[in-house]
Homo-oligomer: A and B are copies of this chain.
């Protein structure tokens, strides 16, 4: 941490800041320049609340010098993390993965039809929601655990792995037998109680970026899970809110290479939520793979127009088959497989 004092700061003000820094547990290195005084903190500053110093009298700016996250930082594992799943499936390695399925599991017929299609396309992950709290209290709220049972059955019948969203701490335990990977949704990215519990388990967690979260905040939330000992974290870009309304969100494709640079964690891209429009899913999925994404997460449905939720952004099965073929070409063009 560097504290830059105002040119007009008095010696008393400088002393008060030094005291506050010392009290916070760091050693202070002072540089008195012609124009201004600079105070550098030596020692661990990861947990410090910088804004606390920013409002002290005489302070101009406070800068964080060291990264606020350690375990999630690239330096922690320069070679990159590869998350290992059953059936020798890896996420974060040379092979680009495809994770596909309906927004919500609706019934046996639907999820089996989808699982069959996912397998046929050569993908390894089936996704689907069992708990769907909705903006209207009268809407479909998901099948719950029976939905997970159906999904597990369909996945097993087709050699697939299961990814499903967990929304509350109380759901972790009952979900454990059914999922290979927990998904944390954008609205829960900073639900620290939930993240803490997920740090205690030993299954991969796919953490989605909040709609207004910075890349740094996404990595801080990853750190929260990892600090509990669960290092199998996968981060996911799914669009941020901006002033542009042509798409539901603005997909921040640059977040993919930025995350790969700052962190060792695998990066997934979700063009379904990233754009909110079926006709934009394919070009954005291709863009994400071209930019270095380790996996693509897409919503698909045999009768996409009538999906009980997220219909507008859901691909028909034939569109999905086409997309996987196209992604395979892009993956090859960037030196990967799919």
Q: Which residues of B contact A309 (CB under 8 A)?
A: 49
Interface size on A, residues (CB 8 A): 104
With A and B bound together, what is the CA distance between A190 and B278 in angstroms? 24
Residue A196 at the B interface, CB < 8 A? Answer: yes
A260: nearest chain-B partner, CB-CB: B283
Which candidate, A113-121, A146-154, A240-248, is the interface stretch facing chain B?
A: A240-248
Q: A212-B211, A286-B290 are in contact. Are A243 and B243 (CB under 8 A)?
A: yes
Residues of B within 8 A of A248 (CB): 51
CB contact list, A167-201 vs B, under 8 A = 167-168, 187, 190-193, 196, 199
* One of A91-99, A122-130, A134-142 at the interface: A134-142
A135 to B255 Cα, complex, angstroms: 22
Most buried by B among A63, A262, A291: A291
Of B20, B244, B313, B330, the residue contacting A215 (CB under 8 A) is B244
Number of copies: 4
Please report A residues at the B interface, Cβ cutoff 8 Å: 2, 4, 6-8, 20, 29, 31, 33-36, 38, 40, 42, 46-47, 49, 51-52, 54-56, 60-61, 63, 65-67, 75, 78, 133-139, 167-168, 187, 190-193, 196, 199, 210-212, 214-216, 220, 224, 227-228, 240-248, 250-258, 261-262, 274-280, 283-284, 286-292, 305, 309, 311-313, 326, 329-330, 332-334
Give 4 closest A-B pairs by Cβ, nearest first.
A212-B212, A51-B312, A290-B290, A287-B287
